[in-house]
Structure 1
């Protein structure tokens, strides 16, 4: 995926072993894992879009307070 992700975030999309042919994602902030998908996605594109939406949610003010 070539879309830009705001610094200091990074998105990793990878194929899952089970179910085969599906993808999952992980979000890192300054290299530290902050969130990962809990469901499989049929395409790499759908997984990336879900991860990008999670980054956007994390950027909103008060995101840390909602996670506790």
Structure 2
């Protein structure tokens, strides 16, 4: 059984699969459909991309990443 996605409102996390074989996963954070932030690191798996993106959403929710 997988853990349910935590409440990240008003943000959504989109995991982007590799565009080519051997490429890395990426993530994008959106608010009301508008791109807010995108990954800039090489992420070797979907799980690592999810974990990294979720950590950044938690920062945004706590006010650390406010612009």
TM-score normalised by length of structure 2 = 0.78
Q: 1:63 to 1:37 in 2, by over 3 A?
A: closer
Q: Is the 8 A contact 1:19 1:40 kept in 2?
A: no
Q: Which runs of 5+ in 2 are unaligned?
A: none
Q: Which runs of 5+ in 1 are unaligned?
A: none
What is the deviation of 1:61? 3.0
Q: Is the 8 A contact 1:57 1:63 kept in 2?
A: yes
Q: Aligned-residue CA RMSD in angstroms? A: 2.2
Q: 1:20 to 1:5 in 2, by over 3 A?
A: farther
Correspondent of 1:29 among 28, 31, 47: 31
TM-score normalised by length of structure 1 = 0.77
Query: Segments of 4+ in structure 1 off by > 2 A?
Result: 16-22
- 1:7 counterpart = 2:9: yes
Please identify which structure carries the higher helix content: 1
